[in-house]
Amino acid sequence: MSYVIPAENLSLANQERLRGNAERMVRIRLARKLAVPEAQALDLKNPAIIARDEDYVTDFVPVATQAGLAGWLSMPLAAIAGMYAIFANNVPAALTPQVANNQAVVFYGAEILLADAAGETVTYIQFGVGAANNRRAQFSLEGLYGVQNATGFFSQPVVYDPQETMNIQIRARIATGVGARIRLATLIAEPIQQTVI
């Protein structure tokens, strides 16, 4: 069963546990895909695989259409009950990013950034995979509107493996004509790399 748990209903320890479980899951999944021993992937001192926060622009938007983007913004919500891509470029055009060969992605929560006057703009989020958009998970976001801080954790993290296409959409409750600002709590697992300065 998948549902959203408002962050304010969770202790900080439980929030860290949910995030930690998502990190462990994505590191193990990638390790199996890359034939890296699990112990090396999870080694705290010298991990073979790390998990980092996402950068919406560089991780999900093609370089050719990144100009002018600064953060999470969905396709414009043009019609009530319409489904709209959570990933959009600066045109705006809908995106269905593909996970890189050496990465895995896990989504473990959502935060509705209520920066616009419209307020309660979406009802739920659906995670699909591939061109057929097979449903991987679905979460109602409406429960987040009744709390002080519209941030929640998913009861089950949603993982995308290397080369999978992420088709993630939201349903509009209000036709605002502009994109919704919904940040997905995301970790990207990848092999540790040396940085040369």
Q: What local confidence, expressed as pLDDT, does residue 116 receive?
A: 52
**Percent of the chain residues topping a pLDDT of 70:** 95
Give me the torsion for CA of 23, 53, 170, 139, rounded to 10°: 20
This prediction has a pTM of: 0.93
- Do 22 and 187 meet the contact criterion of CB atoms below 8 Å apart? yes
Is residue 196 assigned to a domain? no
Q: What local confidence, expressed as pLDDT, does residue 118 receive?
A: 53
Q: Calculate mean pLDDT across residues 112-136.
A: 83
What is the domain extent for residue 79? Answer: 4-191
Is residue 197 assigned to a domain? no
Amino acid making up residue 80? I
Structurally, how many domains does the chain consist of? 1
Q: CA geometry: angle at 137 spanning 7 and 65, to 5°?
A: 85
Is residue 89 assigned to a domain? yes
Is residue 31 assigned to a domain? yes
pLDDT surpassing 70 at residue 67: yes
Burial 86-112 (b: 16+ CB within 10 A, else e): bbbbeebeebbbebeeebbbbbbbbbb
Is residue 113 assigned to a domain? yes
Q: What local confidence, expressed as pLDDT, does residue 115 receive?
A: 52
Is residue 111 assigned to a domain? yes
Is residue 48 assigned to a domain? yes
